[in-house]
Structure 1
Amino acid sequence: MLPSLLPVRSLLTAIFMLMAGGGVLSTLTSVRLEESGAGTLQIGLVATAYFAGLTVGSLHVHRIIAGVGHIRAFTAFVSLFSASTLAYALHLDPLMWSALRFIDGLCIAGVFICLESWLNERAAPETRGLVLAGYMIALYSGQAAGQFLLGIGMAGSGFPFIVASILISLSAIPVALTRITAPVVGVEQPLALRRLYDISPLGIVGTTVTGIMMGAFYGLGAIYARRLGMDLAATATFMSAVILGGVALQWPLGKLSDRFDRRIVIVFTFGAAALTSMLLAFLAVPDAKLLAAGALFGGLVFALYPLCVAHTNDHLRPDERVAASGGLVLFYSAGAAAGPIVGGGAMTFANNGLFLLLATCATGVLAFGIWRLRTSPPVPDADQQAYQTLPRTTPMAATLDPRGSEQ
């Protein structure tokens, strides 16, 4: 694996450092807002602004990249992201922080598109899977490591924002000095959303609900942990356990879905996610059992997006898959933007309302999936594509999928 990653090591280093600095912001902003007396619905609205920025950026920042080139665009996005991170330390105001989170989402979308198109340019067809795996490891391990910035410095100080900004700024260095030739950014016209649903109802419903679940968790998971009595270090450990758990089950569940009707694996995973969410809703003591349940929850829910994408791809021609990824990301992003709001509303009634909501969401898709199993035939074995783990970033990530390059 290592020889395949050496040509793109500067890009992987950049994404690790960027996520180590920027990955904690959703947790940090939620905790600081809660400490200031903001309600969960208000915290959810601030979290929603990030996903709204990510969605808008995924649709439009390619024009900036095409106009000025990858290195200049990447440097600009990182510089703005670093500046917005410092701006949090100036004044705590939910409206101001919503604007900053929207800017963060725009910048992250630009960074992802730059890096993913670069990785696609450098990855040979036979190494795409390894490059994608390396990219996901760098992304999620950076995000997990960054959670531990949560407790550094004095309570209420701007020190975590300063350190996060430093890491974000440093992430520009490997890219600014890279000798990798910048690719041309192509813009795929996404498939019509209605057609995507008609092609794969379970894939689209599953993708959207997964977005709701992940958006709600990222926006409010730290508040759930804090209200259980966890200190900042324990909250960081809990969030990190969920993220790292999210990496652990993607491969085995994916391989299982290659051997059986993929819909059965999706239904099973949603069912297991519902049970795990119920367990988290009633585990009121912050101990090792809570961390284990959190890691299992992450392992199940993080696997749902690539499973639903794989199921949708089973119904598409190879030349449609990259275009379809744009619609899938939009469905996911719409769900992720709604997740913190509905999660915040659920938590106004009780702290465990967050995971009761997630259990309800998963149960809904479980029921829908069972109905689809009873009313529609499975994809023939010959047409079922090999599973590939995918990050929930931008449509550009689909170009790293070996199946998406079979044109």
Structure 2
Amino acid sequence: MTQILYKVWPLLLGIVLIMLGNGMHFTLIGLRGGIEGFSSTELAIVTSGYFVGFLLGARFTPFLIRRVGHVRVFAALGSFMSAGLIAFPLLTESWLWTVLRLLVGFCMSGIYVAAESWLNDAATNETRGKILSAYMIAQTLGIIGAQGLLTLGDAQTSVLFICASILVSISFAPILLSVASVPAVVVAQPMPLRQLFNSAPLGTVGIFLLGSVYATQSGMGAVFGSQIGMSKNNIALFIAMLFIGALLMQYPIGWLSDRMDRRKLILFASCAGGLSCLTGILPSNQLWTLMAAAFFAGGVTTPLYALFLAYTNDSLDPNDMPAASGGLVFTFGLGAIIGPLTTGWAMQHFGPSAFWLMLCITFSAIALYALYCMTQNYSTVSIEESESYLGVLPTASPIAVEAAGEWAVEQAETEHDSQNTQ
């Protein structure tokens, strides 16, 4: 493992720095938006703008890279993202923030495509799983660390936005100064949604609803905290708890995923998420209760994403997995666009507690659909024949999702061969 990390540490360091900047800006939008007097609906539109840009970036960045090359695209996107972050406190109109968020989302998605192409190129069949796991851990640690940095400044000034911009700017140095090869970027055409649904209905519907959950948590969590009067430090801790839960619960859910019916695990995890959100609605909530609700709600969200990917791959021929990966990323993005919009509308009309209510409803919808699918005669694979689980984050581009699918197939083939030789 040490040799593997030594080979890719500049890329991982760059990713941590990028996520520090990006994670700061996600929470800052909610904090500064409240100070500027933006409504829940306006901040919801701003939040959704990021995911619109993210989808567009995932679609068009591979074409840009093939046209002008990795390094130029990577550097250009980094420059635009850094400029966008520093422009937020200068352009305090909600529609301008929506444009800036779309720009940042596009750049961030393109940065993921480029970085993950380099990481995948540096991996072998034996090391791909460990490299992808290290990459996902680096991303999560960066987001958690970003919340700590928010406590060092004042959201009413430009200082924190400037710090986020600086972190993004310097993050490209270790990456661009270390990469030597220029890998080809080949992203399969996304599978049509109708075909994807026919192949894996639970994976398709579930990942759409989960996109709504993830975007609401990460984009509207700070808005909720601001509206109920949390201090800046407590809001930062609240957002951090969402991702600390994801980091700590990824392994046990992944372990269970390879040992039980994944439909049942999806049902149990979504029920746990719904129950944790239900506790957040209680009128007599203390701070520690809200933190615990955030820990468990965030703790099941990220593992559920990887679980839906693994479950969908179980239903597909290996040749169809790359196209399905693109379709799932697109479906997740659609949910991520719609989720904050519906939650923002609900918070505008029913108050801040609608944040938890909408999350609870969405988790419940996932659970109910999983239960429905378990009653149907859909073809399922046995636990022994299911693909291996790898903790892929919802922020991953189709490059990482495809690589995780390849790794799962390789692991399954290796285990099958080893069993045959025994």
- Quick one: which amino acid aligns to residue 141 of structure 1? L
Residue in structure 2 matched with residue 339 of structure 1 by the alignment: 339
Q: Residues 58-97 of structure 1 correspond to what in structure 2 (within 5 A)?
A: 58-97=58-97
2:368 counterpart of 1:367: yes
In 2, Cα distance between the equivalents of 1:109 and 1:405?
27
The secondary structure found in structure 2 opposite 1:389 is coil
Alpha-carbon displacement from aligned partner over 1:388-407 (angstroms, at most 9, x marks no partner): 11122211112432125689
2:394 counterpart of 1:394: no
Q: Residues 37-48 of structure 1 correspond to what in structure 2 (within 5 A)?
A: 37-48=37-48
Residue in structure 2 matched with residue 403 of structure 1 by the alignment: 408
Kept after mapping to 1: 8 A contact 2:387/2:409: no
Alpha-carbon displacement from aligned partner over 1:146-177 (angstroms, at most 9, x marks no partner): 12333433451000010011100000101221
Kept after mapping to 2: 8 A contact 1:119/1:400: no
Residue in structure 1 matched with residue 236 of structure 2 by the alignment: 236
Change over 3 Å in CA distance of 1:155–1:104 after alignment to 2: closer
Residue in structure 2 matched with residue 351 of structure 1 by the alignment: 352
- Quick one: which amino acid aligns to residue 267 of structure 1? L
Alpha-carbon displacement from aligned partner over 1:213-261 (angstroms, at most 9, x marks no partner): 1111112101212233321111101111111211111221122121111
Residue in structure 2 matched with residue 306 of structure 1 by the alignment: 306
1:284 Cα offset (Å): 4.7
1:41 Cα offset (Å): 0.8
- Quick one: which amino acid aligns to residue 366 of structure 2? V
Kept after mapping to 2: 8 A contact 1:229/1:286: no
- Quick one: which amino acid aligns to residue 292 of structure 1? A
Residue in structure 2 matched with residue 148 of structure 1 by the alignment: 148
2:195 counterpart of 1:192: no
Q: Residues 195-214 of structure 1 correspond to what in structure 2 (within 5 A)?
A: 195-214=195-214
- Quick one: which amino acid aligns to residue 37 of structure 2? G
Q: Bigger CA drift: 391-400 or 364-373?
A: 391-400
- Quick one: which amino acid aligns to residue 126 of structure 2? E
In 2, Cα distance between the equivalents of 1:100 and 1:179?
29
- Quick one: which amino acid aligns to residue 266 of structure 2? I
1:317 Cα offset (Å): 1.4
Residue in structure 1 matched with residue 223 of structure 2 by the alignment: 223
The secondary structure found in structure 2 opposite 1:103 is helix
The secondary structure found in structure 2 opposite 1:23 is helix
Kept after mapping to 1: 8 A contact 2:211/2:339: yes
Kept after mapping to 1: 8 A contact 2:280/2:289: no
Alpha-carbon displacement from aligned partner over 1:39-63 (angstroms, at most 9, x marks no partner): 1011000000000000011011111
Kept after mapping to 2: 8 A contact 1:52/1:337: yes
The secondary structure found in structure 2 opposite 1:75 is helix
In 2, Cα distance between the equivalents of 1:256 and 1:381?
11
In 2, Cα distance between the equivalents of 1:21 and 1:186?
28
The secondary structure found in structure 2 opposite 1:152 is coil
In 2, Cα distance between the equivalents of 1:183 and 1:13?
20
- Quick one: which amino acid aligns to residue 400 of structure 1? A
Residue in structure 2 matched with residue 384 of structure 1 by the alignment: 386
Change over 3 Å in CA distance of 1:404–1:115 after alignment to 2: farther
- Quick one: which amino acid aligns to residue 312 of structure 1? T
The secondary structure found in structure 2 opposite 1:386 is coil
Kept after mapping to 1: 8 A contact 2:208/2:332: yes
Kept after mapping to 2: 8 A contact 1:71/1:175: no
In 2, Cα distance between the equivalents of 1:337 and 1:229?
26
1:299 Cα offset (Å): 0.8
- Quick one: which amino acid aligns to residue 326 of structure 1? G
Change over 3 Å in CA distance of 1:247–1:283 after alignment to 2: farther
Structure 1: runs of 5+ lacking an equivalent: none
Q: Residues 238-317 of structure 1 correspond to what in structure 2 (within 5 A)?
A: 238-282=238-282, 284-317=284-317
Kept after mapping to 1: 8 A contact 2:57/2:106: yes
Kept after mapping to 2: 8 A contact 1:278/1:355: yes
Residue in structure 2 matched with residue 161 of structure 1 by the alignment: 161
The secondary structure found in structure 2 opposite 1:260 is coil
1:22 Cα offset (Å): 1.3
2:331 counterpart of 1:321: no
Under a length normalisation based on structure 1, what TM-score does the superposition of the two structures give?
Answer: 0.96
Residue in structure 2 matched with residue 21 of structure 1 by the alignment: 21
In 2, Cα distance between the equivalents of 1:405 and 1:94?
47
Q: CA RMSD in A?
A: 1.6
- Quick one: which amino acid aligns to residue 388 of structure 2? A
In 1, Cα distance between the equivalents of 2:219 and 2:21?
17
1:138 Cα offset (Å): 0.7
Change over 3 Å in CA distance of 1:161–1:404 after alignment to 2: farther
Change over 3 Å in CA distance of 1:329–1:242 after alignment to 2: same
In 2, Cα distance between the equivalents of 1:278 and 1:125?
43
Residue in structure 1 matched with residue 5 of structure 2 by the alignment: 5
In 2, Cα distance between the equivalents of 1:206 and 1:354?
20
- Quick one: which amino acid aligns to residue 35 of structure 1? I
- Quick one: which amino acid aligns to residue 384 of structure 1? S
Q: Bigger CA drift: 301-310 or 151-160?
A: 151-160
- Quick one: which amino acid aligns to residue 389 of structure 1? G
The secondary structure found in structure 1 opposite 2:92 is coil
Kept after mapping to 2: 8 A contact 1:270/1:363: yes
Kept after mapping to 2: 8 A contact 1:144/1:240: yes
- Quick one: which amino acid aligns to residue 243 of structure 1? F
1:286 Cα offset (Å): 4.5
Under a length normalisation based on structure 2, what TM-score does the superposition of the two structures give?
Answer: 0.93
The secondary structure found in structure 2 opposite 1:185 is coil
Kept after mapping to 1: 8 A contact 2:89/2:158: yes
1:73 Cα offset (Å): 1.3
Kept after mapping to 2: 8 A contact 1:276/1:293: yes
